[in-house]
Amino acid sequence: MTDRATGAERKIPADMGARTARRKAARFDSFPLKARRSAETTLLESVMRKSARLSPMSALAWIAPIWASLFVLDAVTGPLYSLNSAYLVPLCLTTWCFGRIAGLIAGTSAIVTTLHLSGFADQLSARATSITAAAAVWNASMLVLGVIFIILLVSAFRRAFDHESRNALMDPLTGLGNRRSFQREGKRQESSAARDRRILLCGVIDLDGFKAVNDQYGHAAGDEVLRIVAHALSASVRPYDITARLGGDEFAFCLTVRDEAAGERKSSSIHQALIAALETSQWRATCSLGAATGSDFEQAIRIADKIMYEAKSIKKSTAT
């Protein structure tokens, strides 16, 4: 090698490269231990963040089975109407959070694999390797917690939605179905009757003297009369038959019978049970009942309503 100042040749020792390497290694070893560990930790955290951001497909691979499980669970336990707008916002939020967790898990797994395949893990200290392992364990724990959180959240919203659905279809005073529930269940009863080759028996009940009870004894007494009628009506039909309070002092029922004669006997039996229940109470109230049979639910309930008002105008406390 030529010296630029003097132009003379300068010899370089053969072990110059080795000495330089040893000198640099000694300089690195002289760094404070805390600084070296901090540098290693910073390197790992940086790689983890980048890898987690670059793993959306890994997150999707975790999310897809969860969504499939939810749909399967919902199909087994009830109709798919539960996954409606009431579920949309919380499920989207939990899916996003779970996606971030899954992405971090996938990124950490990729880091561990890359470090071991490249042999870079051998160049790190034991502490840096333990940091990576601890991160993998932590993220796996977050995965388990994320799954549990989603299951609990969906279950809570499912219970809340079912509770609101029941309240929307139930009369809060008597516990019977309301008009909306009666219309919906009546259509189902119509299909069931056609399938079993039976006919519908639909009846409408109206209380006689109910206004006088309210005026004389108060609304608390009127509510008690309504509950008595509701209990007697429910007790006089089968558990799967349809009963409802249509509004005010008007009730209705719908069930299936073999023929018109059986329907007439059943409607008379229901009316007698209601009269007996009202006579045992301390308030003077009776009821009128109109019933009709047929294969069409809406037509049968219209005829029953018309018959009930005709019977009420002729003589109260009758069944036709």
Give the sign of the dihedral formed by CA 221, CA 225, CA 227, CA 231: positive
Can you name the residues that pair with 257 across neighbouring β-strands?
199
Which pairs count as long-range contacts for 247-252, CB under 8 Å and 24+ apart, including other chains?
A: 247/178, 247/179, 249/206, 249/207, 249/210, 250/204, 250/205, 250/206, 250/207, 251/176, 251/204, 251/205, 251/206, 252/182, 252/202, 252/203, 252/204, 252/205, 252/301, 252/304
How far from chain centre, in Å, is Cα 245?
Answer: 29
Residue 275, phi-psi category: left (phi > 0), alpha (psi -120 to 50), beta (remainder): alpha
CA distance 203 to 305: 7
CA distance 253 to 244: 6
**Quick check: 141 and 196 in contact, CB under 8 A?**
no
Catalytic center residues: 249
Give 243's contacts (C-beta < 8 A, 6+ positions apart).
176, 177, 230, 233, 234, 237, 251, 252, 253
- The pair of structure tokens assigned to 186 is 């009546």
For the chain, first and last CA: distance in Å?
125
- Phi, psi at 31, each rounded to 5°: -65, 150
Secondary structure (3-state) at 83: coil
